[in-house]
Structure 1
Amino acid sequence: MAMTLNSPLSTTTMDVESLVGMAWNGQIRVPSFQRDFRWHWEDVRRLFDSIVRGYPVGSLLLWVRKADEQRLRLGTLDIDAPASTEALWVVDGQQRITSLANALHPDGQQDQRFALAYDLRDEQFVRLPKVEDPLVIPLPVLFDLQKILIWFNHHSGISDRLEQASGVTRTLRQFQVPAYQVRQADPKVLQDIFDRMNNYGKRLSRAEIFSALNDQEVAGQLTIDLIAEHIASDLGFGTIDGNTILQGVLARRGSDVKRDIRDEFAVNGDEGRDAAYHEGEQALRRAVAFLQQDALVPHFSMLAYRYLLPPLARVFAHHPNPDPRNRRLLRRWYWRAAVAGPQQFKAGTGDAARMLCSRVLEKDLSSSVQNLLELVEQSEHVLPDLRSFATNQAATKIVLCSWWAAGPRNPDSHEQYEISDLADCLVDRTTARDAVRYLAPNMSVTKPYRPWAANRVLMPIVEIDSEEVGLRLVDKVVTDEASWSKVLESHAVTDEIIELLRVGALSKALEKRRELLTTHLQDFLQNMCEWGFEDTPSLTELVLDDEEQL
């Protein structure tokens, strides 16, 4: 029988003030089949810009039904939601509701995606400034009538702008959002509606399908999105995509990470869903810690290939504490596989994770590591080309890891950057682009040199103009010569290069720096891959017969 709604849709409009209030008090919930929050800062800015211009922002589809008491997460907000007989579950409109609730709440502004303010001079939404500017009003202040009056009382010099600001406040609070509400519908019908409204034939990812099949609206239940969030917040590794998280969870339970997932816990019923998620998260945590500490891959945006993470999760699921020798061999394997790339697998990246996971044995660590090493060639490979730099490419990610291994230092504090600095700079970013700055203003460099890695430096500084960093290195007034030399050395910059930049000999400066970076990259990869070394297992793994030795 075809799926249909068993009750008619009711239509209404909700002003932003009411909608945000319901989100903050927990009356609005997000069902399990919804995708995670995917918008970036610019998407949020465009939403608010459309509102003040009076443009339509689309309608909402809300499912009216019972909800248990729970502590829920909406964007960056933690909300204690009471039980309700008529909670509003978002079938369509999650990105918009999450953006409104977070950007207009003081706590939401801690997340760079929601850190917006309104510039009264230019009459536009801008990033929240670090230093308070009376004419640039944070959204949580602008949204609250009492707070806006306090703001103008505190900044008496801008009293002539009060009417302008109040007008924006009224527009924001009173803007009407159309909404459809449906009651007593079959969850499968709502999921079908959601899929049709958001995809128009575009397939859901495996992780989204898996979540829809297995997740329930249970307070405190671990999900794929929560695993990614935990690893990002606790380890500073950035947000791992849902499909890679899913493969990590599946890899622990079986080597075929591409298997049919529709009946995962019915077929492999040796443990429940919650236990599988919990143990999968622990395995992924150990794998990420290995990448950060041993392999010197500090952030997910610098992982050469995503398919290399699930087999590591399988290793650390069944062998939580590898001995030092096997950890070293695992490091060799990761870097040899990263440099060799997916061409080593005939099936390409699609089946790479399955092939690698099949080599990991549940009760034999040494054989598992040896099996993985056998899949990658021992001989050296062509190094990444430093004349091309793109943070979404594996070659550049390898280069960035080599720069991180050099211990890059902050030009202001002279201290080495920490993983937390990367995490803060790359919030909600899939590449490391925002942590990379130009050494010389890129438009000042002749066209053939603009793509070069030699004109980039790794400096994860939040909210700073990219080209300003290079000027800091060139025009820095040095008070501590030894400390400043360490800063320059950490970025493969010499006094000679600084002088060439200062006199405008940019091409020559980049040629010199490329030579330094090439040598450093060669040394880094040799140390990581250890080409030419014997890949023998740990001595504790070697069982010899005494008589045979004699």
Structure 2
Amino acid sequence: MSTGLGTRPSATTYDVEKLVGMAWQGQIRVPHFQRGLRWGREDVIRLFDSIIKGYPIGSLLLWVRPAAAQRITFGALRINAPRLDHSLWVVDGQQRVTSLANALHEDAARDPRFALAYDLREEKLAPLPAIATPHVIPLPTLFDLRRVLTWFAQNPEVADLQDRAFHLTAIIRQYPVPAYHVEQEDAEVLQDIFDRMNNYGKRLSRAEIFSALNAGPEGTTPLTLGEIAEHIDEDLSFGRIDNDTVLYAILARRGHDVQREIRLEFDDENRRGVSDFPGEDRDAAFRAGEEALREAVTFLRQDAGVPHVTLLPFRYLLVVLARLFGHFPDPDPANRRLLRRWFWRAALVGPEIFRGSTTGAVRALCAKIHPGDLTGSVQNLLEAVDRPAPPLPELRRFKTNEAAAKITLCSWWELDACDPTSGDPAHIRDLAECLIDRPTPADAVRYIVPSRQVAVEQRLWAANRVLVPVVRYESGKEIGHHLLHSPLGEEDVFAPFGSRGYANGWRTILRSHLVTPEMVELLRRGEIEDFLKARQEAILRHLDSFLHRMCEWDFEDTPPLAELLMEDLPGEEPALSDEDSYGPA
């Protein structure tokens, strides 16, 4: 039990310029018992918005103690930190300090959470644009007065905004951040303080507990759950998988009971027979777990047609796939097809068949996967969801946080939904960029007709939504008027289809959103109710076709032919020739 602090904390204040400078020089470290970085881009934007508005952002608690020379990871930054006798270790305030140090350093812009700029005309923070815009200045540039001067010398057309930029530079650099210094040799005391400051009144997630218990000795930099999620997102543009799902995937690969006690996970002496990989240490398990997740995500993308984590109907299905790919990293094509069939059937029947519990579902399904028997495992999974084909998902209630909407969106994605303003098909990078830090795909889904113009009973219908993952659209804005105009700039937007200005490309755009020329004519005449009814029927037809192709309800779940060994039995009569088979004349 900790004995408390020997001396009272001392109070001080750092301005942002001093604070981030110390972070960049390696004078600020993060203790190994700290949680990983949890903030997303919107959190970082709110932090800087508070600073610009002069709002308080809270105080820091810094642990004064020595630090060894090492290469440290600080958000998206890699820093060669020197040996110090009096380093500052962040006990409380990690998210804020890391966000400040990264968003104000140009090297961190490769991480979209920190790639931020300030729109001097709109007077608001925004994601860093892909193409340099004179009145949108990157935060690292805004933070450095000399770079601000260079920016305006290169962009004289926005000279009227120069004073505003100078003012913002001073505000950010001079913003005061209060901090408490604690000098204490006993790490347990600081962990006790951390626990009291962060956990009273709310439970730590299982991933956070697991990470703290398996953090390793101070000074080491083992692979973390958050880094696994970052690697997969960076490499596959699948979106950031939450840390709890990453943990469950690692646990599922090692043993089917993902709810087992995690405090002794790597203690083989006390956990004999629990792991499928005895003797595997923490680092090896994390590396192998990442590879299993990577293969599972690749399968979802390439085979199952799930382009992004926010379109995954149930995340526990990813955990089950990680267990299977952890044991069988390269299934044969026939078993991959059967696995796709299982995935979509499981997505449709949901966890209800496992007493309505996702916990029960993941445990039951993971138990069906037996090391060394790929075909048997896939057959077991199929048997677990062997039910009559369920009804189609309900499309009169389209909520992007619900499985029915996510299944529907996957069916739309396979149509190569086009941007109505350009005709360009959506790319996976568009979807990933549009949905950064988003828990649901809502930001990629747009209204065709403003909801206020739709009858109450039709407002939640899928028929009034389209999948258009283009960042420049504002979330929730309707795009119906784009469907009424040719992307080729035709002035006569009421010209009949097939006439001058409506090329085949425009028809392709409409088809990619399950819209017909006849439906567009209904919109032009203001017959919104009839338009929505017609499109709802088209969506249902396409969804039915998509699910029949993915689920293959009418097919036998036959194992691959290579698994069906056919041998002549002893004493078996030889097969008849074609002539003999007819019998006597």
Equivalent of 2:483 in 473, 486, 489: 473
TM-score between the two structures when normalised by the length of structure 1: 0.93
Deviation at 1:368, TM superposition (A): 0.9
Alignment CA distance shift 1:496-1:320 (3 Å): same
Structure 1 residue 462 and structure 2 residue 471: aligned? yes
Q: Aligned Cα RMSD in Å? A: 2.5
Equivalent of 1:452 in 461, 477, 490: 461
Q: Which amino acid aligns with 1:373?
A: L
Question: What is the correspondence of 1:289-300 to structure 2 with a 5 Å cutoff?
Answer: 289-300=298-309
Structure 1 residue 251 and structure 2 residue 252: aligned? yes
What count of residue pairs does the alignment treat as equivalent?
A: 550
Structure 1 residue 339 and structure 2 residue 339: aligned? no
Question: What is the correspondence of 1:254-265 to structure 2 with a 5 Å cutoff?
Answer: 254-265=255-266
* Aligned match of 2:242: 241
The superposition leaves residues 462-485 of structure 1 with CA deviations (integer Å, 9 ceiling, x where unpaired) of 132353643322212445722222
Which range moved further: 420-429 or 310-319? 420-429
Q: Which amino acid aligns with 2:309?
A: F
* Aligned match of 1:498: 520
Equivalent of 1:511 in 533, 536, 539: 533
* Aligned match of 2:321: 312
Structure 1 residue 404 and structure 2 residue 413: aligned? yes
Q: Which amino acid aligns with 1:10?
A: S
The superposition leaves residues 523-542 of structure 1 with CA deviations (integer Å, 9 ceiling, x where unpaired) of 11111111132112112112
**Contact 2:2-2:189 within 8 A present in 1 as well:** no
Deviation at 1:331, TM superposition (A): 0.9
Which range moved further: 22-31 or 395-404? 22-31
Deviation at 1:49, TM superposition (A): 3.0
Aligned equivalents of 1:536, 1:511: Cα separation in 2: 40
Moved segments of 4+, more than 6 Å: none
Which range moved further: 201-210 or 481-490? 481-490
Aligned equivalents of 1:307, 1:121: Cα separation in 2: 45
Deviation at 1:121, TM superposition (A): 5.3
* Aligned match of 1:227: 228
**Contact 1:70-1:220 within 8 A present in 2 as well:** no
Alignment CA distance shift 1:31-1:498 (3 Å): farther
Match of 1:45, SS state, is helix
Aligned equivalents of 1:391, 1:231: Cα separation in 2: 23
* Aligned match of 1:192: 192
Deviation at 1:406, TM superposition (A): 2.0
Structure 1 residue 539 and structure 2 residue 561: aligned? yes
Deviation at 1:382, TM superposition (A): 1.9
Which range moved further: 304-313 or 461-470? 461-470
* Aligned match of 2:580: none
Percent identity, please: 56
* Aligned match of 2:37: 37
The superposition leaves residues 293-312 of structure 1 with CA deviations (integer Å, 9 ceiling, x where unpaired) of 11111111111111111221
The superposition leaves residues 305-329 of structure 1 with CA deviations (integer Å, 9 ceiling, x where unpaired) of 1111122111111112211221111
**Contact 1:69-1:219 within 8 A present in 2 as well:** no
* Aligned match of 1:417: 426
Which range moved further: 121-130 or 13-22? 121-130
Higher-Rg member (1/2): 2
* Aligned match of 1:368: 377
The superposition leaves residues 397-448 of structure 1 with CA deviations (integer Å, 9 ceiling, x where unpaired) of 1111111122223335534323222222212222111211222233333333
Alignment CA distance shift 1:429-1:36 (3 Å): farther
Match of 2:321, SS state, is helix
The superposition leaves residues 25-70 of structure 1 with CA deviations (integer Å, 9 ceiling, x where unpaired) of 3322223333333334443333223323333211111223344444
**Contact 2:116-2:139 within 8 A present in 1 as well:** yes
Aligned equivalents of 1:406, 1:120: Cα separation in 2: 39
Which structure's residues are more often helix, by fraction? Answer: 1
Aligned equivalents of 1:378, 1:39: Cα separation in 2: 41
> Unmatched 5+ residue regions in structure 1?
none
Q: Which amino acid aligns with 1:316?
A: F
Q: Which amino acid aligns with 2:522?
A: L
The superposition leaves residues 143-164 of structure 1 with CA deviations (integer Å, 9 ceiling, x where unpaired) of 2111222334445566565444
Alignment CA distance shift 1:156-1:529 (3 Å): closer
Aligned equivalents of 1:413, 1:449: Cα separation in 2: 29
Alignment CA distance shift 1:79-1:483 (3 Å): farther
The superposition leaves residues 204-243 of structure 1 with CA deviations (integer Å, 9 ceiling, x where unpaired) of 1111111101123555521111111111111111111111
TM-score between the two structures when normalised by the length of structure 2: 0.87
